Structure 1
Amino acid sequence: MAITALDKQTALVIIDLQKGIVGMETVPPAATVVANAIALIQAFRKENLPVVAVNVSFAPDFSDAIRTRNEKGGFAPPAGWDELIPELDLQPSDIRITKRNWSAFYGTALDLHLRRRGITNIVLCGIATSIGVEGTARSAHERAYNVTFASDAMSDSLQSAQEHSLKVIFPRIGEVGTTEEIIRLLQAR
């Protein structure tokens, strides 16, 4: 579904734009995602609306990581892989959430932060579209948030996964549009 509106109380939620993920090969390239995420951050700040930066991380011994048969083990991340990229220029007023699962809602205080601020709509962007973004979107939808997707501010390791989320899943959960369309609606609220 195309974007029709943004609520007065909308927050930007940025998924996993961190050193170890932004450095991966994605479609479209992560540089495009980062540039569009920065444009969204600036627009949200101009409107005095919340910016939420989410990263994924685990305890050094991975005791808090998912342990199912299909989760790959043996992940030995380099130092700093979980640090949010400095290009985001995060401010002390921004909300920072560390997740240990695909969804930024599961086992975190994200819902509490948003509800205390009266947020009814979230704009999602980040990497990977079919994992962290989609997982968070599904959880947001289950919690009755209006969800808006910045289609050109997200990417995935597989083109087919990117397209499936954007064309099949996201239109059932919320509204999909470009960074430019979102900024235009944000300014018109």
Structure 2
Amino acid sequence: MTDTLFDAKTTALVSIDMQTSVAHHAAAPHSATEVVARIASMIEPARAAGALPVFVRTTFLPDESDNLGPNLDVKRPRYPHRIENWDQLVPEMDRRINEPVVNKKSFNAFYGSDLDLQLRRRGIKTIVLAGISTNFGVEGTGRNAYDHGYDVIFVRDAMAAGTAEAHEASLKYVFPYIGRVRSTDEIIAAFKAQA
């Protein structure tokens, strides 16, 4: 292996919320379209190197009775009239039949899901993490990946938040303490070096 960033055969490329509704999210400093395109650009190199693409999506029952509902200072919106196919993966993800889709109901994709089981059954040690939103789904999942003992690599230009300030705060104050931060180009180069 010529690259030491990760061993592709024990690495999962985990995308957070690359689903239809993401096109309607505020996204900065990168647009949702840019984030989708950058994640999509990593998928085929990951496959070619033997890494596992994993697609995490947020989904609820139609009445959202399985949505979390604690008391909060900022009320999370409920969506009684969601757009059609809101929780389906965007076509750019080009998911293959043997690639896991993990359903999450919280900011942390490990909570109440089979994500850890899917990864451990396949011998995954490193998670390359990207998606929307940087400071919620990506950060929540990254913190728990760290707690589960995974090496985590955050793809800084393949994620976005509601504001550039929120995005940068996670990149500067959280991610370096629970993993490594790299660019899409660096991740693609590391996969291609092992293909």
Q: Normalization by structure 2: what TM-score? A: 0.91
Partner of 2:76: 72
Instruction: Judge conservation of contact 2:151–2:179 (CA < 8 Å) in 1.
Output: yes
Aligned partner of 1:125 among 122, 130, 142: 130
Partner of 2:63: 61
**Structure 1 runs of 4+ off > 3 angstroms?**
none
Question: 1:73 deviation in Å?
Answer: 4.4
Paired AA for residue 116 in structure 1? R
Instruction: Judge conservation of contact 1:22–1:127 (CA < 8 Å) in 2.
Output: no
Aligned partner of 1:47 among 46, 49, 71: 49
SS of aligned partner of 2:174: helix
Partner of 2:172: 167
Partner of 1:158: 163
Aligned partner of 2:145 among 112, 137, 140: 140
Paired AA for residue 37 in structure 1? I
Moved more, 112-121 or 5-14: 5-14
Q: Measure, in 2, the Cα distance between the counterparts of 1:74 and 1:105.
A: 22
Question: 1:188 deviation in Å?
Answer: 3.1
SS of aligned partner of 2:102: strand
Q: RMSD of aligned C-alpha atoms?
A: 1.5
SS of aligned partner of 1:5: coil
Partner of 1:5: 5
Instruction: Judge conservation of contact 1:18–1:55 (CA < 8 Å) in 2.
Output: yes
Q: CA offsets per residue over residues 78-115 of structure 1, 9 Å max, x none?
A: 22111110111111021101111111111011100100
Partner of 1:183: 188
Change (3 A) 1:97 1:62: same
Identity of aligned residues (%): 41
SS of aligned partner of 1:148: strand
Partner of 1:34: 36
Paired AA for residue 150 in structure 1? V
Q: CA offsets per residue over residues 50-97 of structure 1, 9 Å max, x none?
A: 100010011111111010112424432222111110111111021101
Instruction: Judge conservation of contact 2:26–2:163 (CA < 8 Å) in 1.
Output: no
Instruction: Judge conservation of contact 2:158–2:184 (CA < 8 Å) in 1.
Output: yes
Can you give the 5+ residue segments of structure 2 that lack an aligned partner in the other structure? none
Paired AA for residue 16 in structure 1? D
